[in-house]
Amino acid sequence: MKNIDQAYINGEFITLSGTETFDLINPSNHQKIGEVVLGNEIDTQKAIIAAKEAFKTFSKSTVEERIAILQNVKKAVESREKDLIETMILEYGGTRQFCTMSFQNMLSSFDSMIEVLRHFKFTRKAGNTKVEMTPVGVVGIITPWNSSNSFICSKFATAVAAGCTMVVKPSEMSAMQTQVIMECFHNAGLPKGIFNVVNGLGNVVGSEIVNSSYISKISFTGSTQTGKMIAKEAVGSMKRVTLELGGKSPNIILDDADLKQVIPQAVFGAYMNSGQACVAPTRLLVPYSKLAEVNAIAKEVIQQVRVGNPEDENTNVGPMVSEKQYERVQSYIKIGVEEGAELLSGGIGKPEGLENGNFVKATIFTNVKNEMRIAQDEIFGPVLSIIPYENEEDAIAIANDTTYGLAAYVSSSDEQRALNVASWIDAGRVCVNGFKHDPLAPFGGFKQSGIGREFGVYGLEEYLEPKSILV
Ligand code: NAD
């Protein structure tokens, strides 16, 4: 049993004034593995004041000093690889495959920001005017549970690169993972007050951050629903916001694609992070003429998808993070059946032998109509919808017929053709012929998938205010 009762404020672990607690439950077997004390408004204010004080000096730090911080933190994170991966598997139920990749992403966020800093021009010229890119101020960082530490690391790296200080509110469901990352950051010997963390609830700690007049910007990753609430509140003090929200990403298979290659990729891809991934390609768009063939291949592939113990390195789909999330996914599978979609595999209930955890059957619906709720709503679980289309134009129309616009995927044996289709898709990231990630490319959503971009130069500029100096 792990008891977490401290926040990290001004370079020290301090006991919280909040007294409410939250149970940490292993999603694989429902056993209680720990308890976290939830911070309150007073704890949050202390963290905000520390960040505000630290900003006075840190905002004037040099690029070399910021690079040194990122290098030291990366080393400290690297040295706790095993703890970080094992805690994520235990507390979140992420598969070993996913948690290992997430750890590599954490490290790459430091490298990529160091790379950006080495070339970034903080002083520019516009006309006859000197333009200084100045740090926006204290940043409030609010993160979800589905890859908690990698969001904390990438947002931290960008804030430090800009010269901003920060107050972080992770998901209360990630407290054990947060504890390990706080220890890494502490061991890296950061300047006091630049990085502060308070565990707690969204409507308490999160809301205090969003409403504080000392916070200049919110960097939020989470659901579209919460993102909208934050944007409304943030406008009161005209905070800048970067909102990384939900998705319902289309995966367009053009009629010349090699189905034996792309359909297995599409099925495994939809189940990335056990389906709890904002960029998961959960709408598989295939030509009507190929639907029977696609169904046959998908049915075969699903036999190879292993749902089970996330510790096992061969497991592809672990448990849902919480019982609430399990129930949500179940309710959508029920809705899919009621809406008349054809169940190709999986369905309601838990897989045999996995009744003690939040396990969901790897589910595929086929012959899905894009207007059905299972095709429109973000389910955030291992549920794939196969949607047939008539022709290329129809495929593009269906792909864009969504309130979201985070990611999209296009496959064709003719790359130029796939690129042409990609140019018509309204999404912040379109991957052609496979799943790709580039930590230097801007990442973020069109439409209700968010506002702003993260990563690389685009991400850094969101933490900076241009100041024109006219002499
Ligand atoms: P969530 O919106 O419920 O919570 C996210 C965070 O916001 C948590 O820390 C929560 O405590 C906090 N919060 C809740 N209410 C708040 C309030 N009133 N004020 C301030 N903070 C508040 O999301 P979740 O369930 O933790 O995560 C899953 C969601 O995150 C999915 O919708 C997923 O698509 C999205 N997500 C998006 C990306 C992306 O990069 N676009 C990445 C990962 C996850």
Q: 250-432 has which fold?
A: Aldehyde Dehydrogenase; Chain A, domain 2 (3.40.309)
CA nearest neighbour of 389 among 280, 291, 277, 261 = 291
Whole-number pLDDT of residue 234: 97
Whole-number pLDDT of residue 337: 98
CA nearest neighbour of 110 among 71, 80, 148, 168 = 71
Ligand 1 pocket test: which of 153, 197, 226 has the largest number of ligand atoms within 8 Å of its C-beta? 226
Domain with CATH 3.40.309.10 in the chain: 250-432
Give the CA distances from residue 269 to residues 302, 321, 422, in Å, rounded to whole numbers and listed in that order: 12, 19, 18
Catalytic residue list contains 278: yes
d(CA 7, CA 239): 25
Tens of pLDDT, residue by residue, the chain (471 residues): 899 999 999 999 999 999 999 999 999 999 999 999 999 999 999 999 999 999 999 999 999 999 999 999 999 999 999 999 999 999 999 999 999 999 999 999 999 999 999 999 999 999 999 999 999 999 999 999 999 999 999 999 999 999 999 999 999 999 999 999 999 999 999 999 999 999 999 999 999 999 999 999 999 999 999 999 999 999 999 999 999 999 999 999 999 999 999 999 999 999 999 999 999 999 999 999 999 999 999 999 999 999 999 999 999 999 999 999 999 999 999 999 999 999 999 999 999 999 999 999 999 999 999 999 999 999 999 999 999 999 999 999 999 999 999 999 999 999 999 999 999 999 999 999 999 899 999 999 999 999 999 999 999 999 999 999 999
Give the CA distances from residue 124 to residues 112, 162, 203, 247, 466, in Å, rounded to whole numbers and listed in that order: 22, 15, 41, 36, 9
CB 359 within 8 A of CB 350: yes
Distance 82 CA to ligand 1 centre (A): 26
Q: 2-245+447-469 has which fold?
A: Aldehyde Dehydrogenase; Chain A, domain 1 (3.40.605)
Structure tokens at 135: 């740090």
Give ligand 1 pocket residues (Cβ under 6 A). 142-146, 169, 171, 202-203, 206-207, 210, 221-223, 226, 229-230, 244-247, 278, 378, 380, 406, 445, 450
Distance 21 CA to ligand 1 centre (A): 20
Whole-number pLDDT of residue 468: 98
Whole-number pLDDT of residue 5: 97
d(CA 161, CA 258): 43
CA nearest neighbour of 92 among 169, 188, 173 = 173
Structure tokens at 8: 């990290």
**Annotated catalytic residue within 244, 378, 454, 462:** 244
Give the CA distances from residue 383 to residues 92, 95, 268, 294, in Å, rounded to whole numbers and listed in that order: 19, 17, 11, 16
pTM of this structure = 0.97
- State how beta strands 21-25 and 12-15 pair: unpaired
Whole-number pLDDT of residue 428: 98
d(CA 88, CA 148): 9
Whole-number pLDDT of residue 311: 98
Ligand 1 pocket test: which of 38, 151, 210, 223 has the largest number of ligand atoms within 8 Å of its C-beta? 223
CA nearest neighbour of 376 among 224, 233, 256 = 224
383-393 per-residue burial string, b: 16 or more CB within 10 A, e: under 16: bbbbbbbeebe
Domain with CATH 3.40.605.10 in the chain: 2-245+447-469
d(CA 106, CA 86): 15
